[in-house]
Structure 1
Amino acid sequence: MASPSEQLPDGWEAQWDPTHQRPLFIETATGHTQWEPPTGPAGMMSQPAMESPPPGAGPAHHTKRRQYASGQTQAYYGSTEEPSMLQPMSQPPPQAGMEPQLFTPGLAASNQQFATQQQGQAPSQYYDQNPASYAQPDPNALANQFGQMGLGGQKPFSLQTANLLTSPPDPRDLSLPPPEIRLPPNATVTPSQFANADSSYQRSTVNAFPNTSSLLSKSKLPLALIITPYRTVSENEPPVPLVTDTVIARCRRCRTYINPFVQFIEGGNRWRCCMCNLSNEVPQMFDWDQARNQPGDRWSRPELSHGVVEYVAPTEYMVRPPQPAVYVFLIDVSHSAIQSGMVATATRTILENLDRIPDEDDRTKVAIICFDVSLYFFSLSPGETDPTMLVVSDVDDVFLPKPNDLLLNLAEARAGGGLESLLTRINDMFKDNSIIGSALGPALQAGFKLMVPIGGKMIALSSSLPSLGVGALKNREDPKILGTTKESGLLQAASPFYKTFAIECSRAQVSVDMFLFSTAYQDVASLSCLPHYTSGQTYYYPAFNAARAEDALKFAHEFGEVMAMPIMLEAIMRVRASRGLRMSSFHGNFFVRSTDLLAMPTVATNQGYAIEIQIEETLTSPFVVLQTAILHTTCYGERRIRVVTSAYPVTSNLSEVFASADQVGLAVLLANKAVERSLSHKLEDARDAVSNKLVEILQTYKGSMTAAGAGASAQLAIGENLKMLPVLVLGLLKNVGIRQSAQIPPDIRAYSQALLTSLPAQLLIPYIYPSFYSLHNMPPEAGTVGAEGVIMPPPLPLTSERLERHGLFLIEDGQTIFLWVGRDAVPQLVMDVFNLPSYEVLRGGKTTLPLLENSFNQRINAIVQKTREMRRGAYYPHLYVVKEDGEPPLRLWALSALVQDRADVLPSYQQFISTLKEKVNGNGGY
């Protein structure tokens, strides 16, 4: 065989690239490099020259359009040849670490960067119908290229089947990434591993979309998008790229934002929308570097290489100038609130966190309104240091006693010391208050009147059932109806005020967070309506008593985190999808303003949303794209758009749909749908709907994916990627939110339902399938600091079979931590952990672990601390010590987290699986 150089045109030479283990072709005159052998005259594929702007010219003078050679644009998305319909493409896909087929001088740096990022990516393996608009690489050129590298063709997609009867749940499976999204080759314009949004921002219940609604219906798998658009970013994670030049390219027809899945055509002058295929002009300034005032590198723009990106929005995206962040605190000062220590803890926490409230531009405004059966306003004029208290006792006709000086500029109020003075005095002002009663509704109205011109966040702290004025509620807790068909009525709002007022708040860009502290019934179901429709959050502290340090610490931590949270104001969210897909129903804390526009007065970090998708017409493209866009104002007064884009291959193969199903996404959706059904129907209906959906999925899998077909089978088959779905469903059925029981107080159940519909997947999964660790015999590295922080012990299946009488175990669900101590625990273990001489003197209950001078204690403290910090969100779980022979209620509560055990009328995992098998085989029922 002739050497590569002997086959080259004049002016070219070949060198072996040891880094990528393949030939590199170099044009000797220009230094231009490429991976493919040149097939024409020297220089034919070099980048066209660009005119530099005249000295001093600004962006406004940049009128010269950057022209890209056809070969250069095609290098990123292939040629225009299309494989025959439904046939596997003849050429193999690009492999991990592979640069584009063509290098040009202007692209070398960005290409090298993308190639480095892509190390470790698996090849695409989905082949499906391709419309004429979808461009593919030249088969012959790629065949030659891969022939030199010794790469064969692609392997067919394989579906691995597991038998649930012989494959017990392995909690480690829940930490695995979702099934790989295997897009067709060259689906993106840049070979970036970040082109698809990370699953922590956006994930689908299936990672290969059925091409028809009938195929989706046949699979019985629900199709939905699970979104957490604003999740916190840890120090070791890359931040969301920010586009600051206000150049925003959007499709003229469907308004999709330009993203890694579009195509550039006509020499790079136009781009084809990946949603509707419309050809759009590339904005004039898209290829201009405004910071350096010179032509820029298109391929280095974040929106072409990242699935999650944020834009600084130009003025046309503003209905009004960006408003300042506003925080209005409504503090219950009735007798119960004072006696529990809530008021003292709340005012001290506000005082300690004033520096953490976002206020970089000194525009943030705050107000404090106290209430019992009257309303108490505090006025602070500029320059004053002593606030004036104004009392409004007419709660039937709420008015603001002083239009100005009630909403304080945070920086100015702190400069004079007036705000700090007020916060230190509020508890003393009301310390002898003997008034019992709550005018929460009128207090909310007063806060709304203060905020309505601007919008912002209202944080209400309430210690008792609202008893007078608008929104007054009655105690409707009735033990006789718990566990009956009437129980779902207790989970619905008792007064229409809370929904209608919430919608008013939404229109005025006001969100409400509720902090609830009552020792008695408080009607969490009604009060949580306010956060639900205004994109806020509910926090609940039953039987709060600040005299217990643990109670005060938990509330102070969570309240402080809420205040410090960077909030997104005046937000609207819309999800766009490829032609043939439609968003059909929405779950989460927001108000649906129109058919698909979600209104969010503020977007709190780490809130999750679930959006169901319908397939309205046959999908003919090889992949579909879904894009979530949230237009908002930062708390620093900047209008921005966060865009989250995901692409998924389309398939006509049922086995590929099953193989791509995401068990975590499915569990999140089922939790949201179960709560919705329990409110619209009955709790029993919600449980039945979840169970029946699981049976349908198993029946379809058995009938279509196994040899048993419709006949009886000795096994219960499911895909390896769905092995944990049954135990997640069992955990959901046993969750306090929908569990069958006559012992669950309505407030506890309603709060659990609020969590089930607002937690992101990272928090929701442990909430329905807790983590369980053995501590007394954990590996020596557990509890020590590794490369990624504290090393956690290996998780155990949630069954009491793993409990040992001499052992120490930790069970946690993100909201509560249980430290289970076996009755035969040796004195040395009790001494090392609790600093007590023996098990007998150890007391169970809410506690704080001592920090002792021994490694075992320090490792356990590190694990508890890591448990509190490892998940996103404001929550600070209580720690309970549970003795094996301790108080029965506490023991039962801890054991209820072991969802694979039988409990009361609820089946064990083995019983559940056996019942599923009978149901799937068509005999037996629930």
Structure 2
Amino acid sequence: MSNRRRAYPQPQYSAASGAPPAGFVAGVSPYGGVDQLGQQFQNLQVGAPGIAPGVAPGANGASGIPPAGANAYQYGQPAGVQPQAQVPVQQPYQQQQQPGQGYDYTAGYNAPTNGYQAQGAAGAAYGASGYGQTPALPLNQLYTADLLKELPPSISDLSLPPPPLVLPANSALVPTSESSNASPEYFRSTMNVIPNNNSLAKKSKLPMALVVRPYNALKIEDENVPVTSDTIISRCRRCRGYINPFVTLTEQGRRWRCNFCNLLNDIPSSFEYDEVSGTSKNKFSRVELNHSVVEFVAPKEYMARSPQPIVYTFIIDVSIEAVSTGLTGTITRTILESLDRIPNQNNTARVAFIGVDSSLHYFRFNEGLEGTEVLIVSDIDEPFLPSPDGLLVNLNENRPAIEKLLVDFPSYFENTANNKFALGPALRAAHKMISNIGGKLVCFAASLPNIGEGKLQAREDPNVSGKAKESQLLSAADSFYKSFAVECNSAQVTVDLFLTSGKYQDVASLSNLPRFTAGQTHFYPAWTSGKMEDVTKLSKEVSDHLSMDIALEAVLRVRGSTGLRMSSFYGNFFNRSSDLCSFPTFPRDQSYVIEMSIEENIAKPVVYFQAAVLHSTCFGERRIRVMNLAIPTSSKLDDIYASADQLAITNYYTHKAIEKAISSSLADARDYLSKSLIDILNVYKKELVAGNVAGSSPLQLSTNLRMLPLLLFSLTKHLGFRNDRVPSDLRSNALNALGSLPIPHLIKYIYPTVYSLHNMDDGCGLPEQIVNVDEETGEEVTTTSTEILLPEPMNDTRSGWENYGLYLIDNSTELFLWVSGDVVPGLVYDLFGTDNLYEVPTGKTELPEYSFEESEFNYRVRQIIGKIRENPDSITWKNLYVVIGGSSNEPIEITNQRDLQALRMWALSCLIEDKTQNEQGYREFLSALKTKVSQ
């Protein structure tokens, strides 16, 4: 094929094309900061005054209103958005103390001490004001957006970081440290300004919660978390908080004051001694005093027992359903190919295999021999281990025998006619096998458990889909699955499920096993080995799952400053006590939400949070990962709203809606989301927007929250909550994903990303070109990045689509390539190798592969798809579905028109903003909101 570069028709600008609305300047942050060339706006440095760029203290415009004739964007406000005149920006603090002097915050103003921390101007102001009085910090300014006028919504906001955390100057112990406050990728709050009393928190109607994600990559080497060089750990004697960058030093640096409870603690003498070199060292160079996220190497007192080896027990369905669909053969081959990927640096990993139908098939490895023997236990009412040894074996020492078993495994069951699947007894038996060590039970099932303990029956009822009774289908049918999961948790055992049935499998019941053991449920409806794309997805995800550097025997605790309490916990784990979350194994691809409450008034200008994960690494070392977050406080509602994090708030409401859906009904969950949004809009209208007259007022919200209505609206139309007939297995699986996905993946799962490919820039799909200026010569130097440049995302609406367009939809779990019916034949030829649209394969497939010289367009599109599929923090492999849209003249005749129409509807359901037959569009949703808010 020749390399053809075509000038495809270019659509005119439309409101839904993803281009900015009129009056919008690219790169303007809604939080009061300006992004140059669309890059993420720069977070204010610790201690930054928070005044909009270009405003000198006391100069005209310091109130937040730009002087006459000034460029509004220099002041950080989006086009057409007026700052709230009644919210003046506070003057920055003047320097009150000399460098090297500190203050004791707990006793009002004290004479400066010879401490090692310059507390900064704001700290001096606080000390001078006396304990119990909170000085006004120059926090983020409040700007108002009219939601009905800002259509289409500015989806570029979804990729912005949260509003900046504005802290007093030099509030960190080491002012030069740039990582003293946790990155939002690890630790973030729904509010980046905390109300200083409970009545204000309730008045705001905004949720108070923390989003914790201790790990953000599947492999340890892909993270850059500093580790302490010794096992010296300094903790507060009262609250048990770990020493961190926000403590205060007193008595010439010999003691530190806890930033959570104010207790004075001794600095360990070993802080200034290097055990390795035997020389003294500067304690201010220690990683725990410089970095917000750090790992301590734990001494023996943090171990109930020595770190255990990593254990994988594979429970494999060998019933006729699993064998006939190819699950048994595919899984054993995948495990065989993944043996080298299992974390096993110290050669202690252990494995075991159990085949399950109406009996339990154990595989005993004979020491010193390459062969195995099959031991069959038919008594599933009281399953037992048929051998005291040889079932759970060291991976390295038995590698030849394990490889031979995995090669031969399918042949043992190839002629089976057994249609039973005793999952419950198999779980019991596997639990007995590893309960003294702990580890993972990885289950592969193509059948509904239909015999023995935990037996389930098909209870799918299409007549209750979308009705109140549907919540019963979303709850467990048998209490065994939760009670057994709790037993597993106490024995440090995690259960992971890979479900592949084409029939009803009761995902709602089975998913309780991973939910309470810190595992995950992976669902592949109608999977078959006859489809290469199905095999690829399952194999890649299982292999990546086995290669994940999981933490073992882990517990998570989150603490906050005095006056704050962690009240509710959401995610896949078991709440062992009021504030301790238990993880037999800690996954690296999930996140957690902790709701908090204010128990007493907060007098300090800053509050602190700390999340700590005590765990054993997969290479046998006991460690504690600690994350620290400092957030300013305020007594003003406008400060609270100006710094609210819309993505974290969406994460919180997602968990609450899941809770409602399971305990009550889907309708109640949707109503809860709608009511929560109305409450927020009413507060904003009544308390923060002056002069509005009921009935004629616009629908307004702070600019940093202007995507919240879109996200909550999108959530109501998501597969997990939509008012439509949805198979309960699909619904339950969607709720499982919503309840565990980290924020970047969650937002895309709620509001899919759409790219226009037929008119993308020439650089898209190719390595990004970065232009830098040589400081010495002043000349521009162009370098090639390893990152593939993606097109700019569009809004999720078809109103801006062209009849000849080509669009790629990414909903976080699948990719849809929409080929419009009137697409240019040359474009089809460049992409698919044929100019006949009738010959383009549809459904789950892959694009043909052409080199850059053969077809530049095909190469660039495949590079874009490959880039989107790269997930260093997730095991999900996204299948590609090619969808051909209808022609403007008549629908294209495809052999299976019914399947094509279903595929079209599935793809179009990702276009959240559009109105459908059963549900309103986003514009109609906002109009209805305005009516309710105006009442």
User: Normalization by structure 2: what TM-score?
Assistant: 0.83
Cα separation, 1, equivalents of 2:858 and 2:922: 34
- Equivalent position amino acid for 2:857 in 1: F
Deviation at 1:713? 3.9
Aligned to 1:882: 883
SS at 1:617's partner residue?
A: coil
- Equivalent position amino acid for 2:465 in 1: L
1:460-499 correspondence runs (5 A): 460-499=443-482
Cα separation, 1, equivalents of 2:270 and 2:736: 46
Q: Aligned pair 1:255/2:240, yes or no?
A: yes
Residue by residue, what CA displacement relative to the aligned partner does 1:866-896 show, whole Å, maximum 9, x if unpaired? 1111562100011100111262111111111
Q: Aligned pair 1:680/2:663, yes or no?
A: yes
Deviation at 1:131? 8.0
SS at 1:501's partner residue?
A: helix
SS at 1:647's partner residue?
A: strand
- Equivalent position amino acid for 1:899 in 2: I
Residue by residue, what CA displacement relative to the aligned partner does 1:501-557 show, whole Å, maximum 9, x if unpaired? 000000000000000000100000000000000000110000001111100000000
- Equivalent position amino acid for 2:869 in 1: R
**Which piece of structure 1 moves more, 764-773 or 885-894?**
885-894
Cα separation, 2, equivalents of 1:644 and 1:344: 43
- Structure 1 residues 160, 81: closer, same or farther in 2, change over 3 A? same
Aligned to 1:586: 569
Aligned to 1:268: 253
The correspondence for 2:845, drawn from 841, 844, 847, is: 847
1:120-159 correspondence runs (5 A): 157-159=140-142
Q: Aligned pair 1:641/2:624, yes or no?
A: yes
Aligned to 1:93: none
Q: CA contact under 8 A between 2:140 and 2:166: conserved in structure 1?
A: no
Aligned to 1:366: 351
The correspondence for 1:664, drawn from 635, 640, 647, is: 647
Deviation at 1:126? 14
The correspondence for 2:502, drawn from 519, 524, 535, is: 519
Deviation at 1:127? 8.6
Aligned to 1:768: 750
The correspondence for 1:655, drawn from 618, 629, 638, is: 638
Cα separation, 2, equivalents of 1:175 and 1:667: 14
Aligned to 1:552: 535
Q: CA contact under 8 A between 2:100 and 2:115: conserved in structure 1?
A: no
The correspondence for 1:178, drawn from 151, 162, 169, is: 162
1:435-446 correspondence runs (5 A): 435-446=418-429
- Structure 1 residues 128, 343: closer, same or farther in 2, change over 3 A? farther
SS at 1:637's partner residue?
A: coil
Determine what percentage of the aligned residue pairs are the same residue.
Answer: 45
- Equivalent position amino acid for 2:932 in 1: K
**Which piece of structure 1 moves more, 715-724 or 702-711?**
702-711
The correspondence for 1:911, drawn from 913, 918, 924, is: 924
- Equivalent position amino acid for 1:359 in 2: N
Residue by residue, what CA displacement relative to the aligned partner does 1:51-108 show, whole Å, maximum 9, x if unpaired? xxxxxxxxxxxxxxxxxxxxxx9846744589999xxxxxxxxxxxxxxx9999xx9x
Cα separation, 1, equivalents of 2:345 and 2:255: 40
Cα separation, 1, equivalents of 2:704 and 2:734: 28
The correspondence for 1:629, drawn from 596, 600, 612, is: 612
- Equivalent position amino acid for 1:917 in 2: K
The correspondence for 1:814, drawn from 812, 815, 818, is: 812
Aligned to 1:328: 313
Deviation at 1:904? 2.7
Deviation at 1:130? 8.3
Deviation at 1:426? 0.5
SS at 2:674's partner residue?
A: helix
Q: CA contact under 8 A between 1:407 and 1:450: conserved in structure 2?
A: yes
Cα separation, 1, equivalents of 2:140 and 2:760: 39
For structure 1, which runs of at least 5 residues remain unmatched after alignment? Answer: 1-72, 86-100, 112-121, 138-152
SS at 1:755's partner residue?
A: helix
Deviation at 1:321? 1.0
Q: CA contact under 8 A between 1:127 and 1:622: conserved in structure 2?
A: no
Q: Aligned pair 1:921/2:914, yes or no?
A: no
Cα separation, 2, equivalents of 1:370 and 1:364: 20
- Structure 1 residues 476, 304: closer, same or farther in 2, change over 3 A? same
The correspondence for 2:907, drawn from 884, 894, 909, is: 894
Output the aligned Cα RMSD.
Answer: 2.5
SS at 2:603's partner residue?
A: coil
Deviation at 1:244? 3.1
The correspondence for 1:758, drawn from 731, 734, 740, is: 740
- Equivalent position amino acid for 1:385 in 2: E
Q: CA contact under 8 A between 1:78 and 1:136: conserved in structure 2?
A: no
Aligned to 1:293: 278
Cα separation, 2, equivalents of 1:458 and 1:494: 22
- Structure 1 residues 213, 131: closer, same or farther in 2, change over 3 A? farther
Cα separation, 2, equivalents of 1:235 and 1:780: 36
- Equivalent position amino acid for 2:879 in 1: H
Q: CA contact under 8 A between 2:608 and 2:629: conserved in structure 1?
A: yes
Which of the pair has the greater relative contact order for Cα pairs under 8 Å at 6+ separation? Answer: 2
Deviation at 1:186? 2.2
Aligned to 1:24: none
Cα separation, 2, equivalents of 1:689 and 1:81: 42
- Equivalent position amino acid for 1:807 in 2: G
Deviation at 1:711? 3.2
Q: CA contact under 8 A between 2:102 and 2:115: conserved in structure 1?
A: no
Aligned to 1:831: 829
Residue by residue, what CA displacement relative to the aligned partner does 1:656-675 show, whole Å, maximum 9, x if unpaired? 10001000001111111100
Deviation at 1:324? 0.7
Q: CA contact under 8 A between 1:80 and 1:134: conserved in structure 2?
A: no
Q: CA contact under 8 A between 2:133 and 2:603: conserved in structure 1?
A: no
Aligned to 1:27: none
Residue by residue, what CA displacement relative to the aligned partner does 1:269-314 show, whole Å, maximum 9, x if unpaired? 0000000000000112111112221111111111111111001100
Cα separation, 2, equivalents of 1:81 and 1:681: 48
- Structure 1 residues 690, 76: closer, same or farther in 2, change over 3 A? farther
Q: Aligned pair 1:618/2:616, yes or no?
A: no
- Structure 1 residues 631, 759: closer, same or farther in 2, change over 3 A? same
Cα separation, 2, equivalents of 1:126 and 1:903: 59
- Structure 1 residues 492, 235: closer, same or farther in 2, change over 3 A? closer
For structure 2, which runs of at least 5 residues remain unmatched after alignment? Answer: 1-96, 769-784, 887-896
- Structure 1 residues 446, 911: closer, same or farther in 2, change over 3 A? same
The correspondence for 2:206, drawn from 221, 226, 244, is: 221
The correspondence for 1:386, drawn from 355, 360, 371, is: 371
Aligned to 2:411: 428
- Structure 1 residues 103, 880: closer, same or farther in 2, change over 3 A? same
SS at 1:222's partner residue?
A: coil
Cα separation, 1, equivalents of 2:521 and 2:569: 19
SS at 2:271's partner residue?
A: coil
SS at 1:368's partner residue?
A: strand
- Structure 1 residues 492, 257: closer, same or farther in 2, change over 3 A? same
Deviation at 1:382? 2.0
**Which piece of structure 1 moves more, 282-291 or 389-398?**
282-291
Q: CA contact under 8 A between 1:349 and 1:560: conserved in structure 2?
A: yes
- Equivalent position amino acid for 1:875 in 2: T
Cα separation, 2, equivalents of 1:355 and 1:564: 9
- Equivalent position amino acid for 1:267 in 2: Q
- Equivalent position amino acid for 1:769 in 2: Y
SS at 1:641's partner residue?
A: strand
Deviation at 1:846? 0.4
- Structure 1 residues 82, 324: closer, same or farther in 2, change over 3 A? closer
SS at 2:923's partner residue?
A: helix
User: Normalization by structure 1: what TM-score?
Assistant: 0.84
Q: CA contact under 8 A between 1:489 and 1:679: conserved in structure 2?
A: yes
Cα separation, 1, equivalents of 2:921 and 2:415: 52
Cα separation, 1, equivalents of 2:706 and 2:486: 41
